[in-house]
């Protein structure tokens, strides 16, 4: 990919992002003419919408970049935090923390522990004779994801905790902001995580060619893999702890962007960041305007859009064999 083209595309994406942000701010459950939105009495509504958009941007970019990393290091184009069960692990960790009555600021930590444990579990399930079987990796990811989601539902239905009873959104995602401190903390983690991942773009390019190939290009593969898996678990866990489990974002956006700008991570990562932010802001917009004043969980929207993409990719993969 010619870097000049990618600069133009970056510019174009930023403009689109700006436009969807504006659209997101001026439209919502409560209909207010835009001139009045800037009035002081409407300030809380304005803030609410702005925070929502921030959550959408953070969640979209973080999940999409995690998807890119997992697809590269597992060399499997179907890998993604949701499909590999990382999101469910994080969700379970967070729900346990709420059940135990821990402070909300501990949520990312609890979610991270859950995410890492589920990664280790899925990895070991998929391993036969010290080799990760590509098909069984996805299979064990989906199985673990279903099992952990079931435990979440079980805990929720047992608990007397009123706040938990309303948390079906853990399973389908919501961009509602309930804790500004937590949002700030999570945004920091995600921005930091994506920056570190970007530092590894050459390594990711090499790893895509195969682990042995990567070693021959001077990449310390075991170390790089460990760092990147921990960072994706951290990003996923942070996002899950503020907006629950949102699936397929990490699958869909990277794939579309690979078709548009090519697979070179140096270009792919920044452009996917912005494209995924656009995608999430639009999904959030859809979730609010399809049945107003009802709000459809964001995960339902991303699943409706993402599941077909997953099926197409799966079919195409089988076609190659």
Partner 1 sequence: MNTVELINLSGGYHKEIVIDGISCSIRKGSFSGIIGPNGSGKTTLLRLIGRVLVPYRGKIRLEGNDIGKMGLKDFCRKVAFVTQDNVINFPFTVFEIVLMGRIPYLKRLQFESRHDREIAERALIMTDTIDLRDKMIDELSSGERQRVIIAKALAQEPEVLFLDEPTSHLDIGHQIQILDLLKKLNKAADLTIVMVIHDLNLASEYCNHLILLDKGKIFKEGAPRDVLTYQNIEKVYKTVVVVEKNPINSKPYVILVSREKS
**What residues line the site for partner 1 (CB under 8 A)?**
1, 3, 75, 77, 130, 198-202, 205-206, 208-210, 212-213, 215-220, 258-259, 262-264, 266
CB of 220 to partner 1, least distance (A): 6
CB of 217 to partner 1, least distance (A): 4
Q: Which is nearer to partner 1, 10 or 208 (CB)?
A: 208
Q: Which is nearer to partner 1, 189 or 221 (CB)?
A: 221
In angstroms, the CA 78 to CA 310 distance is 7
Q: Which is nearer to partner 1, 56 or 273 (CB)?
A: 273
In angstroms, the CA 270 to CA 257 distance is 10
Under 8 Å CB-to-CB from 307, ≥6 apart: which residues?
248
Q: Please state whether 195 falls in left (phi above 0), alpha (psi between -120 and 50) or beta.
A: alpha
Q: Which is nearer to partner 1, 165 or 216 (CB)?
A: 216
Q: Which residues pair with 132 in a beta bridge?
A: 127
CB of 219 to partner 1, least distance (A): 7
In angstroms, the CA 73 to CA 248 distance is 18
Q: Which two tokens stand for residue 220?
A: 């310390």
Q: Which is nearer to partner 1, 79 or 90 (CB)?
A: 79
Q: Which is nearer to partner 1, 22 or 312 (CB)?
A: 312
CB of 3 to partner 1, least distance (A): 7
CB of 66 to partner 1, least distance (A): 17
In angstroms, the CA 60 to CA 58 distance is 6
CB of 188 to partner 1, least distance (A): 21
Q: Which residues pair with 131 in a beta bridge?
A: 128
Please list the alpha-helical segments (H only) found in the chain. Answer: 3-26, 34-37, 43-73, 86-99, 107-126, 134-158, 162-165, 169-172, 180-199, 201-208, 211-216, 221-243, 249-261, 265-289, 298-320
């Amino acid at each position: 990919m010619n870097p000049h083209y990618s600069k133009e595309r970056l510019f174009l994406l930023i403009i689109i992002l700006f436009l969807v942000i504006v659209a997101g701010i001026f439209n919502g459950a409560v209909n207010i003419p835009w001139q009045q939105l800037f009035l002081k009495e409407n300030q809380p509504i304005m803030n609410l919408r702005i925070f929502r958009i921030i959550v959408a941007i953070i969640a979209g970019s973080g999940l999409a970049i995690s998807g890119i990393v997992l697809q590269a290091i597992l060399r499997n184009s179907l890998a993604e935090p949701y499909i590999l069960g990382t999101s469910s692990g994080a969700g379970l960790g967070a729900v346990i923390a709420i059940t135990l009555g821990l402070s909300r600021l501990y949520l990312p930590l609890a979610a991270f522990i859950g995410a890492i444990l589920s990664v280790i579990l899925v990895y070991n399930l998929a391993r036969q004779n010290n080799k990760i079987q590509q098909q069984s990796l996805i299979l064990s990811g989906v199985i673990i994801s279903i099992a952990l989601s079931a435990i979440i539902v079980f805990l929720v239905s047992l608990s007397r905790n009123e706040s938990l009873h309303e948390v079906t959104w853990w399973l389908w995602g919501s961009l509602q902001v309930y804790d500004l401190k937590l949002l700030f903390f999570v945004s920091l983690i995600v921005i930091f995580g994506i920056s570190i991942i970007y530092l590894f773009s050459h390594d990711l390019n090499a790893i895509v060619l195969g682990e042995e190939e990567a070693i021959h290009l001077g990449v310390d593969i075991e170390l790089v893999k460990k760092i990147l898996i921990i960072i994706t678990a951290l990003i996923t866990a942070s996002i899950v702890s503020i907006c629950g489990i949102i699936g397929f974002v990490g699958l869909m956006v990277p794939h579309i962007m690979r078709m548009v700008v090519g697979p070179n991570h140096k270009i792919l990562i920044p452009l996917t960041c912005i494209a995924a932010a656009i995608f999430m802001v639009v999904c959030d917009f859809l979730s609010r305007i399809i049945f107003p004043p009802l709000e459809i969980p964001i995960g339902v929207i991303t699943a409706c859009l993402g599941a077909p993409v997953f099926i197409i990719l799966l079919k195409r993969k089988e076609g190659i064999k």
